[in-house]
Structure 1
Amino acid sequence: MISDTETLIKRFDSPCARFSLADEMFVERGTKEDWDLLHNLHYKAEKLPIGPRFWRLDLRGNTIGVLVTGTPKGMLRERHIVFPKLKPGAGETRLTNTNRYNFINANFRVISRFVVDTMYRGIGAGYRMMNLVSRMEGNTFMEIQSSMSKFNAFGQKAGFKFVKPMNANNYDKVMKFFRLHFASSPQDFEAIIQEIEAKRGGERAKIEELCKDFYFRNSAMENTSNGGAGMERRRETMGTREVVKGIQQIGLSSPMYGIWKCPDPKGSVPDKLPLLAFDTQKPGERLKWHG
């Protein structure tokens, strides 16, 4: 209730904030050189997915954003929640497994790396680019697994639907390992490192070796990407900080799984679009922009 001494003012024509340079931003195919320009801004700077494809956000000839898509994982429990028929069951054969992988590779891509120059964050470039790239890739489904989606709704704004976060498969195993060998909280990276550095001589060497043994025994990525002499070289060159961080990632990370279905017929979306083409339709509607 408004008193006689108060005035309520409504503006139906109030202006909306708008970043004028967005008119000059374009999403188009890129190269690894574009990724190299901005990759240090990404927390997984040195690693790329299997089968990477690069997309860039261009402003007057400069790369101000890079999105990298990759080949999806063959087995993913969050995907099985959304697509239960893709979940392996009893009586699986080599043929059925091969057909499943062929179907996934033909119809799915995954957003693996995404970074926007710090000068152009907070203007809506991220979710717009994510949606447009998902259309331009030409696959039926685009997936994303992102821990940041719990804190930033860019995926939701791009039209992705998310599954409730789940603990990692190795959660219990990693928690048991940390609690067995460290007094610090399993989530406290620096405290664990300090415990290791406080040890001396053979005791420190022993705990570092235990960490490496545990990491390489349980890391699906290491066991898939490296083998034989390659794994031995990888093991020798990994520092303690990287190993501890790796253990935390395989057990304590809980990225949200999102899925987006493309409404555009395959081959109908061009390889270059203005960023604001996103605004011509809802995120899940067929592209209405015509250049």
Structure 2
Amino acid sequence: MIILDNEDILVERRARPAGHRLSLLNRIYIERGTKEDWEVLHELHYKADKTGIGPRYWRCMLDGQVIGVGVMTVPKMLLSGRNEAMKYMRPNVNGRDTRLVNRTRAMWLNAQACTNSRLVLDTMYRGAGIAYRMQNLMMRMTGCRFVEFQSSMSKFNPFAAKAGMRFTKPKRSANYAKGLAFFQRWFTSMPMDYVGIKEEIDAMSPAVQKKCVAEMRKFYYTCSSMEKSGDNRANGTSRVDGMEVGYLLKSLQQLVLASPLYGIFENPDHGVELPARLPLFAFDNQSLTEPLDLARAREQMSTIPAPKLTDIPEDEDEPDDETD
């Protein structure tokens, strides 16, 4: 099928042969990475500015080149999606929770679970089945019993479901209705139009701009549970008061408009010591709920050229002070 044909360009869509796979797949492997690997590709991610607390990195390698990076972080203590998927983890049922119960819940989560907070693939290699294979393998390699995932993009791109994530039903933000009313009060641009709203703020008189930004900070802090929990609970309004206006606007849009799906993966390799390096094709050796076929994975890995010793990263488990 010819999509576009003019003096400058010819674009064709050709039928893919049945059973065809990218020939490079059998040369790709997954291993632990570092923050430097994330810095290589992080600008291709829509949340490029920061990662979560306690990041651990995995990288996808092809012929010595980093083509994908995944980030695992410690789990958040409060998630509505988790309350639906794991009903016995719901906090303060019937008002019976004590300090001991809350502390034990947090210790159990930290010991048993982690969060897949970032996954980015070089644009040159997208659409070839790499992302969901990579996600499945690095979730297995964490050693955690459960891996959680929150993503608005999963409503449109099902790669995480292919990787084994099971999702709760999507729902709108609890702040959706009053958030729309707030945007309509202050701006003529659509609530999701970051550029348009930012231009309106910049064009305001100093007095009106000061009042508008103050109201944005007040609304965001009042409605954001994240700003009043975890490490942020001791900050009061100081963190929000110090936000740059553009970042504040992004945070406000996220608060009002985002409806991320909550997904959870139960690791069939929990408690098993896996190799430090796995071939991408190890994903295809078993079903999503079965332990890895390690003998087959080692055989496949032996056909991939061994990395140089200087390419092997040291573990990086230092905590990060920032949250999403």
TM-score w.r.t. the length of structure 1 is 0.87
- Structure 2's unaligned 5+ residue stretches are 1-16, 299-324
1:178 paired residue among 177, 183, 197: 183
Report if aligned partners of 1:111, 1:144 keep a CA contact under 8 Å in 2.
Answer: yes
Q: Per the alignment, do residues 237 and 146 of structure 1 end up closer, same or farther by CA in structure 2, a change over 3 Å counting?
A: closer
Q: How does 1:238-249 map to 2 (within 5 A)?
A: 238=244, 240-249=245-254
- Amino acid aligned to 1:177: F
Q: Is 2:285 aligned against 1:276? A: no
- Amino acid aligned to 1:100: R
2:272 paired residue among 267, 274, 278: 267
C-alpha separation in 1, matches of 2:139 and 2:252: 31
Report if aligned partners of 2:152, 2:258 keep a CA contact under 8 Å in 1.
Answer: yes
1:18 paired residue among 7, 21, 28: 21
Report if aligned partners of 2:144, 2:270 keep a CA contact under 8 Å in 1.
Answer: no
C-alpha separation in 2, matches of 1:192 and 1:214: 16
Q: Per the alignment, do residues 236 and 135 of structure 1 end up closer, same or farther by CA in structure 2, a change over 3 Å counting?
A: closer
- Structure 1's unaligned 5+ residue stretches are 1-13
2:99 — aligned with what?
Answer: 94
1:143 — aligned with what?
Answer: 148
Q: How does 1:78-157 map to 2 (within 5 A)?
A: 78-88=81-91, 89=93, 90-157=95-162
1:47 — aligned with what?
Answer: 50
Q: What is the RMSD of the two structures over their aligned residues, measured on CA atoms?
A: 2.2
C-alpha separation in 1, matches of 2:237 and 2:42: 25
Sequence identity (%): 44
Q: Which moved more, 1:192-201 or 1:242-251?
A: 192-201
TM-score w.r.t. the length of structure 2 is 0.79
Q: CA deviation at 1:93?
A: 0.5
1:5 — aligned with what?
Answer: none
Q: How does 1:191-210 map to 2 (within 5 A)?
A: 191-210=196-215
Q: CA deviation at 1:167?
A: 1.7
C-alpha separation in 2, matches of 1:241 and 1:122: 32
1:235 — aligned with what?
Answer: 241
SS at match of 1:20: coil
1:3 — aligned with what?
Answer: none
Q: CA deviation at 1:119?
A: 1.0
- Amino acid aligned to 1:164: K
- Amino acid aligned to 2:123: T
Q: Per the alignment, do residues 233 and 83 of structure 1 end up closer, same or farther by CA in structure 2, a change over 3 Å counting?
A: closer
**Structure 1, residues 19-63: CA drift from partner, whole Å, max 9, x if none?**
111111110001111111111111111211111110000112111
C-alpha separation in 2, matches of 1:111 and 1:101: 18
C-alpha separation in 2, matches of 1:163 and 1:233: 31
C-alpha separation in 2, matches of 1:103 and 1:244: 35
C-alpha separation in 1, matches of 2:108 and 2:100: 12
Q: Is 2:31 aligned against 1:28? A: yes
Q: Per the alignment, do residues 78 and 232 of structure 1 end up closer, same or farther by CA in structure 2, a change over 3 Å counting?
A: closer
C-alpha separation in 2, matches of 1:263 and 1:25: 22
1:68 paired residue among 62, 66, 71: 71
Q: CA deviation at 1:221?
A: 4.0
- Amino acid aligned to 1:138: G
C-alpha separation in 2, matches of 1:86 and 1:237: 33
